[in-house]
Amino acid sequence: MKRKLLIYSKPSSSNNLVDWPYNFLGFKLVKYKPGFGDFTRYGLSWKVNFLWYLFSKGNFCILVLIEDNLVVHYSYLTPKVFRFPFMKKGDVQVGPCVTHVSYRGKGIFSRVLELIPELYSRSETIWTYTTEDDIAAQKAFKNAGYSFTTFAEMSLRTKIVRFIKF
């Protein structure tokens, strides 16, 4: 069984940020790198964080926007792993991404997507994907300057994403 996806990409920025922007859009911006003894602070769950840690050999992180003690938004950023055979070494894959219900529709996700290529200016390509029915994500990708690249399928058993050849 497979799920049809839309793949988007954007070249990384040539603008290299000098300093980490600890404040972004009025929120605290945290780069969380889960590791042994600390898989539970942010993200989907400790199990998901642990699996991404194993798959990426510890080379993934989660960008987190925080207001007071509330997580407003988070985006997983992962290197090339077996799930994304189309990526090159040095590319970055964005997702999953979640914005708190109270903050949706305010352009936060689009702005984070714009920031990522600047944070990863040494990467060749920033990749992301969504399902055909997720119109909000498609709109955010376009607003952030990502281009539709191709259709793909994800195996529901292995979670491997492969381009569809026409």
User: Are 27 and 64 a contacting pair, CB within 8 Å?
Assistant: no
Average pLDDT on 139-148 reads 96
Show the domains of the chain with their CATH numbers.
Answer: 2-163 (3.40.630.30)
The β-bridge relationship of strands 92-99 and 70-78 is: antiparallel
Coil, helix or strand at residue 102: helix
pLDDT confidence of residue 40: 83
CA gap 109, 113 in Å, rounded:
6
Q: Residue 36 above 90 pLDDT?
A: no
For the chain, the average pLDDT equals 91
Tokens in use for 163? 């381009």
Q: Of the candidates 76, 29, 86, 31, which has an alpha carbon nearest to the alpha carbon of residue 56? A: 76
Q: pLDDT-derived band of residue 18, with 50, 70 and 90 as boundaries? A: low
User: Are 93 and 128 a contacting pair, CB within 8 Å?
Assistant: yes
Q: Residue 62 above 80 pLDDT?
A: yes
90-128 pLDDT, tens digit per residue, is: 999 999 999 999 999 999 999 999 999 888 877 789 999
pLDDT confidence of residue 160: 95
Question: With 0-12 CB in 10 A as exposed, 13-18 as middle and 19+ as buried, what is 20?
Answer: exposed
